[in-house]
Amino acid sequence: MGQFIGTLKGFGVTFSHMFKKVVTEEYPEKRVPLAPRYHGRHILNRHPDGLEKCIGCELCAWACPADAIYVEGADNTDEERYSPGERYASTYQINYARCIFCGLCIEACPTRSLTMSNEYELARDSRQDLIFTKEQLLAPLLSGMEQPPHAMYLGDSEKDYYLSGPTNPGSSAGAEKNPAHRIADRDGKVAQ
């Protein structure tokens, strides 16, 4: 008798779940929206004319507790200008095998160049592919932006870029759809 009641109880739990809300997520068919300030993959933002906001100051690399960022600075010239002002990053790499997504780097960034997107699909099948280069990290060119190097279109000096700073936070939206972010595998095929 006791055995019978026990069995019923057990099936009771099973049946009751048929009418409860499901906790399983149907990833990757359906993607759950994340919190707006979720710490995902980084974006290197651009000024409205397409110039890079990054000045290659390495403060992000300095702040990084995991030693995941590598930057090399270089000199802007009038013929070859990537960012307003004197300095730009000639090399910018983030190693996602090391990154712990703490966000100290974006706090350190003096130009709001480095921000974080909500993208989290960062699994790769080799360590090499986990090192994202500047081309992969840069925000896509939106309308009105031009691919650097080019002259400063927003003013004569870099101050014109920064005085309007707070109203010009740049854009990280759409970064996930940037074709440059797709990673080509060894055969040259582009995978999403």
Partner 1 sequence: MTEVAKKVDTVKLTIDGIEVEAAKGELVIRVAERIGIAIPRFCDHPLLDPAGACRQCLVDIEGQRKPSAACTQTVADGMVVRTQLTSEVAKKAQEGILEFLLINHPLDCPMCDKGGECPLQNQALSNGREESRFHEHKREYTKPVPISSQVLLDRERCVLCQRCTRFSDEIAGDKFIDLMERGADEQIGVFSGRLDVDPAEVVGETGLEGAIDANLLDAPFNSYFSGNTVQICPVGALTGAQYRFRARPFDLVSSPSTCEHCAAGCSMRTDHRRGKVMRRLAGDDPQVNEEWNCDKGRWAFQYATAFDRITEPMVRDPKSGELRKASWPEALNAAAEGLLKARTEGGVGVLTGGRLTVEDAYAYAKFARVVLGTNDIDFRSRPLSQEETDFLTSVAGKFQVTYSDIEAAPDVVLVGLEAEEECPILFLRLRKAANKRGTRVTSIAPFVTRGLEKVAGTLVPTVPGAEATALAESAEVRAALSKPGALLFVGERLAETPGGLSAAARLAAETGARLAWVPRRAGDRGAVEAGCLPTLLPGGRSLVEPAARGEIGAAWGLEVGDLSERPGRDTLQILDAARTGALKGLVVAGVDPHDLPDPAAAEEALEKVGFLVSLELRLSAVSRRADVVLPVAPAVEKSGSYLDWEGRVRPFDAVLRSAAMTDARVLDALARQLGYQLGTADTLAVLKQIGELGETRAPRAAAPTVDAERVAEPGTGEAVLSTWHQLIDLGALQDGDEYLAGTARPPVARISKATAAALGVADGEPLNVSTERGRVTLPAAVVDVMAPGVVWLPTNSPGSTVRRTLGVSSGATVRISAGGTS
Binding site per annotation, positions: 54, 57, 60, 64, 99, 102, 105, 109
One-letter amino acid of 145: M
Coil, strand, or helix at residue 71? strand
Which of 11, 15, 38, 62 binds partner 1 (CB under 8 A)? It is 62
Cβ-contact 152, 51 below 8 angstroms: yes
**Closest approach of Cβ 136 to partner 1, in Å?**
21
Q: What dihedral angle (degrees, nearest 10) is formed by the CA atoms of 9, 10, 16, 21?
A: 150
Q: Kindly state whether residue 73 participates in binding partner 1, applying the rule CB under 8 A.
A: yes
Q: Is 75 in the site for partner 1 (CB under 8 A)?
A: yes
Closest approach, Cβ 157 to partner 1, in A, equals 9
**Residue 61 in contact with partner 1, rule: CB under 8 A:** yes
**CB burial class (10 A; 0-12, 13-18, 19+) of residue 12?**
exposed
The CB-of-153 to partner 1 minimum distance in angstroms stands at 18
Instruction: Between 7 and 77, name the residue whose CB sits nearer to partner 1.
Output: 77
The owner of tokens 């703490």 is: 102
Verify binding: residue 55, partner 1, rule CB under 8 A.
yes
